[in-house]
Chains A and B, each alone.
Chain A
Amino acid sequence: MNGARIHGIVLSGVGGQGVLSMAQIVLEALRRSGFHALQSEIHGMSQRGGSVHAQVCYADQPISSPLIDDGCADLLIALEPLEALRYVPMLRISGHLVVAEDPIADMEGYPPLEDVHAALRAVRGSHLLDTEALARKLAHKQAGGMALLGMASRFLPVAESLWQEVIAQRFAAKGEKVTAKNLEAFEAGRNLIGEGVGA
């Protein structure tokens, strides 16, 4: 590597969990922060409860590749622990991983959850979130995703106010209450990771 630095984010989960909409929030936040950014996603068959992932690339200069190579992602945001493990090799040695602990295990051959968690904890730079406990605490069933995004936000060069702006716009159509709940979840996640850890 002797040239420009291009940053990559991988988002993963299971079809229906909201991976693609989270990727769009991240893309929009980076774009409004002045970066050249693009996002890649796969639609169709995989959205029916299969493994889903999206990628966001950003840089100071125009970029054109929709795909990130293995070992080139700076951040992995995973809504499901097994789907996190699948993409760990995409992370740079210095990369970070934020991941929901709660599994979607309605499939054959899902490894013992404690093994999955142990494998994730063994990854340097990993941050696990007990999404279920947080959802209970905030009395908000869907809090997990936004909280993960809050954690991830510590590793991205986007101002806190800009995140809030993008999230508020995203949920505007669903009313003030839903927006407030999601902003609260974002903040709760953001507060779980100390300031200045990331970029």
Chain B
Amino acid sequence: MTQHTLALGVEAAAQAAFDAGIKGAFGYPGTPSTEGFEYAEALVKQDAGGGRVAHWAANEKVAYDLALGMSYAGHRSLVTMKHVGLNVAMDAYANSALTGVQGGLVLLVADDPGMHSSQNEQDSRRLAEFAWLPCLEPSTVQEAYDFTWRAFELSEALQVPVMLRLVTRLAHCRAPFQRRPTLAPTGVGLTPKTRVQDWVLIPSNARRRYVDLLAKQPRLREAAATLNRIAPGTGRRGVALAGLGRAYFGQLVLEHSELAALPRLEVAAYPVDPELEQAFLGQVDEVLVFEEDYPVLEERLGMRGRARVRGRLDGAVPRTGELSPRVLKDALGLATPEGKAAAGLELPVRAPRFCEGCGHVDAYEAIQEALRNVGAPEARVFGDIGCYTLAAQEPLAAIHAVVEMGASISMAVGAAFAGQTPSVAVIGDSTFAHSGLPALLTAAEARANVTVVVLDNRVVGMTGQQPSQALDQVERLVLGLGIPEADLQVLTPLPSRHGDNVAAMEAALRHAGPSVVVFRRECIQSLRRGVLKEHDREAREHAACPSCTPEVVR
């Protein structure tokens, strides 16, 4: 039975994982990967009684290890994250190349060329190469579906995790695709006793497994070769295409039929077979490379020294930013049709901003006033990743460094060690759970003179208001990490509480040693959507129940 489904690219991959019989889907939210996990989660919910699970994890590393554990237990699993999330999971990812997998494990990673919603445009293909692992790179929604299936098959056949690399434009491209029949999550059984040592990465085993992994490389290249091809053409000028480069070029051929004659190297899977590269380079004197993010293919082809290779490195393609039909046309020397002229009005940028009535704004206003009151209006404040990052812009300009998830606390501690007083970190509740916890443990242990502000809106606001893993737990986590009760304050960021909040914040700033201020008010988007309604109702019922003490209410 074939069915047509309409979904985003990242959702099609999740559908394929479900159809391929995953037992579980795990992830941490991050644009443009979020909808993939959410789609899998919705499918798992609909499949009640089907024995599958879908669970957000506290961070990407945890998510990856959940998937790896499920694989060890013999079941297929999907783990989703954005490109910078893979940095967090890198320890797990790189080492799982050595353990190998039992049940198929597919890592769906969504890169963000052009940085639509990210702090960098790193290329996950490089990380797959680094870990000696295969990477499949679809260019259409249908391929996102098909390649995910293929990834599970390869993962089990080669006994390695397989990366599925999407980019923003495909992750968020909505199109119809054809499905295959759904498999039940039957599994292949627990890792056999004879292979247990493979999973114990003490040096003696790891040395052996590294040799095994390198020995697998020819098979990885062979597997990739089934998705890569040379389309012969006429003339000595060719194109090498990967990812959306294939999609954009494929469509340009429809509009400009003369392009169909160009010899083409089409890459959809890595590692690329050097023989395929050599064979292609034997057909051309010059090759234009179109790929998203880093010049991965371009450098490989350039290394061979057989043809003039053009792309991001020589400026034929802009060095940074995402591909587009325009980028391809410019590089190919095709004219872009003249569009309509717009009147010469200055069009101001409409930047994203805090929602009307957002509690973060009230919190920042209290922080800034308190800093003025303690005579430190120019204090540099360390921020973190989330909606509250918007405070870096005018008019608030309230945070002065934003690097990566959880960095705010440790950076504030480092600055305090350098003598900065006051040294303030601002972090959201979900980011705190993601990677702020070890940092606060260090702050508490070092008795560092920092004030850590947790902006607790109870959800992962930016990515669509998924419940925070620290939901209703922030105070207990803070106390458990060694912050004394007297140095923890919980405030409600509302205009009517402004005076009290400023006073409390001031006290925290004046306190010598670590202090934590939690500003808690639910995200107004999640409040409007009733995201936590059910959770809060259950919590109230538990609180009222004589056999439950409030301490066990989650």
B337 touches A2 (CB 8 A): no
Q: Which residues from chain B contact A42 at a C-beta distance below 8 Å? A: 116-117, 168, 172
Surface stretch bound by B, among A65-73, A135-143, A151-159, A190-198: A65-73
Q: Which residues from chain B contact A43 at a C-beta distance below 8 Å? A: 31-32, 34-35, 117, 172
A46 touches B348 (CB 8 A): no
Please judge, given known A-B contacts A46-B117, A65-B251, A122-B343, whether A3 and B336 are in contact too, CB under 8 Å. no
B174 touches A85 (CB 8 A): no
Q: Which of B321-354 contact A (CB under 8 A)?
A: 324-326, 329, 336-343, 345-354
Q: Which residues from chain B contact A15 at a C-beta distance below 8 Å? A: 352
Q: Does B463 contact A (CB under 8 A)?
A: yes
A64 touches B139 (CB 8 A): yes
Q: Which residues from chain A contact B6 at a C-beta distance below 8 Å? A: 27-28, 31
Q: In the complex, what residue of chain A is closest to B395 when comparing beta carbons?
A: A108
A51 to B350, CA, bound (A): 6
A65 touches B116 (CB 8 A): no
Surface stretch bound by B, among A33-41, A167-175, A177-185: A33-41
- B102 to chain A minimum Cβ distance, whole angstroms, is 34
- A96 to chain B minimum Cβ distance, whole angstroms, is 10
Q: Does B255 contact A (CB under 8 A)?
A: yes
Q: Does A116 contact B (CB under 8 A)?
A: yes
Number of interface residues of B (CB under 8 A): 58
A46 touches B337 (CB 8 A): no
Q: Does B175 contact A (CB under 8 A)?
A: yes
Q: Does B155 contact A (CB under 8 A)?
A: no
Q: Which of A1-20 contact B (CB under 8 A)?
A: 1-4, 6, 14-15
User: Contact string, A39-67, partner B, CB cutoff 8 A, digits 1/0?
Assistant: 11111111111110000000101011111
- B174 to chain A minimum Cβ distance, whole angstroms, is 4
A88 to B173, CA, bound (A): 22
Q: Does A24 contact B (CB under 8 A)?
A: yes
User: Contact string, A79-90, partner B, CB cutoff 8 A, digits 1/0?
Assistant: 000110110111
Query: Range of interface residues on chain A?
Result: 35 or more
- A36 to chain B minimum Cβ distance, whole angstroms, is 9
A69 touches B340 (CB 8 A): no
A40 to B397, CA, bound (A): 32
- B272 to chain A minimum Cβ distance, whole angstroms, is 21
Q: Does B124 contact A (CB under 8 A)?
A: no
B172 touches A40 (CB 8 A): yes
Q: In the complex, what residue of chain B is closest to A97 when comparing beta carbons?
A: B340
- A127 to chain B minimum Cβ distance, whole angstroms, is 14
A2 touches B339 (CB 8 A): no
Please judge, given known A-B contacts A65-B247, A70-B336, A92-B339, whether A3 and B117 are in contact too, CB under 8 Å. no
B117 touches A89 (CB 8 A): no
A107 touches B348 (CB 8 A): yes
A64 touches B339 (CB 8 A): no
B348 touches A72 (CB 8 A): no
Q: Does A199 contact B (CB under 8 A)?
A: no
Q: Which residues from chain B contact A115 at a C-beta distance below 8 Å? A: 343, 345
Q: Which residues from chain B contact A122 at a C-beta distance below 8 Å? A: 343
Q: Does B250 contact A (CB under 8 A)?
A: yes
B339 touches A88 (CB 8 A): yes
- A73 to chain B minimum Cβ distance, whole angstroms, is 8
Q: Which residues from chain B contact A49 at a C-beta distance below 8 Å? A: 350, 352-355
Q: Which residues from chain B contact A119 at a C-beta distance below 8 Å? A: 342-343, 345
Q: Which residues from chain B contact A59 at a C-beta distance below 8 Å? A: 254
Q: Which residues from chain A contact B347 at a C-beta distance below 8 Å? A: 82, 85-86, 111
Q: Please name 10 pairs of A and B residues whose Cβ atoms are closer than 8 Å in the assembled complex, sorted by A.
A: A40-B174, A41-B172, A48-B353, A49-B354, A50-B350, A51-B349, A66-B173, A66-B244, A71-B340, A83-B350
Binding site for B on A (CB under 8 A): 1-4, 6, 14-15, 24, 27-28, 31, 37-51, 59, 61, 63-73, 82-83, 85-86, 88-93, 95, 107-111, 115-116, 118-119, 122-125
